[in-house]
Amino acid sequence: MTTINIGIVAHVDAGKTSLTERILYETNVIKEVGRVDSGST
């Protein structure tokens, strides 16, 4: 497995966590996408 380091920088409430969750989900690193408002990220 190849490790790739990326940086995600944006203003507050710009969707950084949601984007990161989706990337991890789409690459099969996590099994389900969490939600920031429910604290499951």
Please tell me the distance from the alpha carbon of residue 12 to that of residue 31, in angstroms, as a whole number.
26
pLDDT category of residue 12 using cuts at 50, 70 and 90: very high
Torsion of CA 23, 8, 11, 18, to 10 degrees: 10
Average pLDDT in the 18-23 region?
Answer: 94
Chain mean pLDDT for the chain: 92
The model carries a pTM of 0.77
H helices present in 1-41, as ranges: 16-26
